[in-house]
Amino acid sequence: MPETFDLKSFLSDLPHLPGVYRHLDAEGTVLYVGKARDLKKRVSSYFQKTPDSPRIALMVARVWKVEVTVTRSEAEALILENNLIKSLRPRYNILFRDDKSYPYLMISAHDYPRIAYYRGITSRKGRFFGPYPNSWAVRETIQILQKVFRLRTCEDTVFANRSRPCLQYQIGRCTAPCVNFISDEDYRRDVQQAVRFLDGEADDVVEDLQARMQQASDQLRFEQAAALRDQMHALATVLHQQSMEEVDKTDVDIIAVAQAADKACVNLAMVRGGRHLGDRSFFPTQADGESRADVMTAFIAQHYLENPLPPVLVCSEALVDENLLALLNEQQPSRIKTRLQTRPQGVRKTWLDQALRNAEFSLARTLSESASRAARTRALAELLQLDTDDESLDGLRIECFDISHTAGEATQASCVVYNHHDMQPSLYRRYNIAGITEGDDYAAMRQVLVRRFSKVADGEAPLPEVVLIDGGKGQVEIARQVFVEFGLDTRVIVGVAKGEGRRVGLETLVFTDEREPVALGLGSAALMLVAQVRDEAHRFAITGMRARRAKARNVSRLEEIEGVGAKRRQKLLARFGGFSGVAAASIDDLRSVEGISRELAERIYESLR
């Protein structure tokens, strides 16, 4: 970083315009990213008064240079700030993990709509309800709709090729529109009732069912009246279970922040159509020393730039940035402007109190688990003579490699990652192994390590502090050779040799240097961590191998059937949605595929039994 940077001159030249600023240290590392309505006032404030937060004061002491980007509006600055925070992950910003998109419940736009679990953009045809806090909440709602309104959930390929009703009809979860057991009009009415239920009009749906039941009874259509009675009873049971939630029909997100021991938890609860769908906890990183209001503001800014705002936000803290909600409203496709409540009454106060209790409970549980995980990380670091200060331990990265196959078939390697005192599934990788002698584990290990650590040698990825190899001296020697070829530090390699009878607790750690093998013993915290990571690598490898093997075997089973060539095989798999659908199809179903005669359909049917 050049020493000619003149902070005083830089500040005096800043414009009174919106934009984004970045604080950098002497090495050019971005320490903090922020947005401003007025760059001159906001950036200058850091250096004209003592920051309220000790964390920010420490950051300002390290600032060597400031960079700014002028934007056309504060809303544009908000978007740029969020993108930079996600890509740069600055040390002094409050960061929330970038999770998967939230799930929705979808009612499709078909002639006979289906209900389905859905993730993705909601601009396609159909009705989308949600978002839901987790997949469990979606699936529970689907079960309610199946029990009460008996709508189909089957894939389109299955629906189009049914010749008789499936098990869902037999257990009273579907009215079998696939085989015309229900009229178009009656099925559409059931769909409309389900939509009204999801929109919070459950009481109206009950009244409508009661009127239809009475009408059917008056007309002596007792079987239909009984079916409506059962439907009404099922819906009444659901409403009784959720009686607390019927007071408020507005879509609301409830957000509460809890803090303890320099850590924070944000609990997000979702209410849609008057139904409390559940909650979800978020744990920001780098939030130590920040106020609850700062954490709340950071969460809302990062979360609702990626997700739709509901009409009402009920929050345990006021926002530090008073303009934030208005800026977020500008980015929403809906014209409905979100309102913020920090002192709710009635049922919303009950929801907020519950969200705060859940945040406190989740934080306490996480702190307890974190302390245990941190202790295991420290024990392993001490054993391997690594740095044991808190920052080094938090950044300690372990990668573990394992090989899995069945007698040489469908060989796969796995790489799992442990970092920040926890497994990191988003960083896991599988490697298909090819071009080796079947069953040659050494060659498989060499191939995966070459593919993984060639990127380290090329400077495209950092070298982990620990590379665990599931195996003994032979596997470790292969790893050592690969590292020597790439000029990497071989001391990070640690082999996990199984003990006698492969019993847990008898594992031995094997090294590439002069260190003697170490038998840790059952009571070792370091062994608990090593066993956790090793077992996760084994699980990840074997599930991938089984899926690859099943796919290969299923396709080969079709290939072995006389008269089923590549084109017919492709048509069968496309029509029935995969091998399992083909295997479950009846002879008549198979005959409906172009190019499949009755004789061939019978041959396929018998071959797959």
pLDDT(239) > 60: no
Rounded to 10°, the helix 184-198/202-218 angle is 150
Q: What is the percentage of the chain residues whose pLDDT exceeds 90?
A: 22
Supply the pLDDT for residue 356.
94
CA angle, corner 337, sides to 331 and 339, nearest 5? Answer: 120
What is the rounded distance in angstroms from the CA atom of residue 116 to the CA atom of residue 302? Answer: 28
Please count the CA atoms within 13 angstroms of the CA of 120 that sit on its side-chain side.
8
Instruction: Single out the residue of 196, 170, 201, 174 nearest to residue 187, CA to CA.
Output: 174
Query: What is residue 552's predicted lDDT score, i.e. its pLDDT?
Result: 52
What are the tens digits of pLDDT across the range 180-232?
A: 888 888 898 888 888 887 777 766 676 776 777 777 777 776 766 776 676 66
pLDDT at 410 over 70: no
Give residue 15's region: left, alpha or beta (phi > 0; psi -120 to 50). beta
Q: What is the mean pLDDT of the chain?
A: 83
Per-residue confidence at 245, pLDDT binned at 50, 70, 90? very low
The percentage of residues in the chain with a pLDDT greater than 70, rounded to a whole number, is 88
Q: Which domains does the chain have, with CATH numbers?
A: 7-88 (3.40.1440.10), 104-200 (no CATH), 252-365 (3.30.420.340), 392-545 (3.30.420.340), 560-607 (1.10.150.20)
Under DSSP, is residue 170 helix (H, G, I), strand (E, B) or coil? helix
133-137 average pLDDT score: 82
**Tell me, what's the pLDDT at 313?**
94
| Helix/strand/coil percentages in the chain, nearest 5 | 50, 20, 35
User: pLDDT-derived band of residue 169, with 50, 70 and 90 as boundaries?
Assistant: confident
Q: Which of 44-48, 61-65, 315-319 has the highest mean pLDDT?
A: 315-319
The pLDDT of residue 132 is 84
**Measured CA distances, 535 to 93, 322, 373, 472, 498 (Å):** 34, 49, 16, 15, 12
Which stretch of 110-119, 334-343, 447-456, 541-550 has the lowest confidence by average pLDDT?
A: 541-550
**Poorest-pLDDT segment among 303-312, 334-343, 354-363, 496-505:** 496-505
| Structure tokens given for 245 | 């939630």
pLDDT at 243 over 60: no
The tens digit of pLDDT for each residue in 106-118 reads: 989 888 899 988 8
> By CB neighbour count within 10 A (0-12 exposed, 13-18 middle, 19+ buried), where does 464 fall?
buried
- For residue 282 the two structure tokens come to 């978020």
Residue pair 381/492 in contact by the 8 Å Cβ criterion: no
Question: Measuring CA to CA, which residue among 545, 401, 426, 409 is closest to residue 478?
Answer: 401
* pLDDT (average), residues 500-521: 78
Beta bridge partners of 341: 314
Q: Measured between alpha carbons, how far is 450 from 440 in angstroms, rounded to an integer?
A: 16
pTM over 0.85: no
Taking only the tens place, the pLDDT of each residue in 76-105 is 899 899 889 888 889 888 888 755 678 888
Average pLDDT (375-399) is: 89
Q: What is the pLDDT of residues 260-294, one digit of tens each?
A: 877 899 999 988 877 788 888 999 988 877 889 99
Rounded Cα distance between 317 and 295, Å, is 9
SS3 348: helix
Q: Helix, strand or coil for residue 144?
A: helix
CA triple 283-289-290, angle to 5 deg: 65
Is 379 in a helix, a strand, or coil?
helix
Dihedrals φ, ψ of 106, to 5°? -110, 135
Distance (Å, whole) CA 570 – CA 547: 19
| pLDDT value, residue 295 | 93
Predicted pLDDT at 202: 66
pLDDT at residue number 570: 77
Which segment of 330-339, 406-415, 424-433 scores lowest on mean pLDDT?
Answer: 406-415
Residue 407 binned pLDDT confidence (cut-offs 50, 70, 90): low
pLDDT digits (tens, 9 = 90+) for 515-543: 888 887 777 888 888 888 988 888 888 88
Peptide bond before residue 517 is cis, with ω within 30 degrees of 0: no
Asked if residues 159 and 151 have their Cβ atoms less than 8 Å apart, the reply is no
Quote the pLDDT of residue 244: 40
pLDDT value at position 246? 45
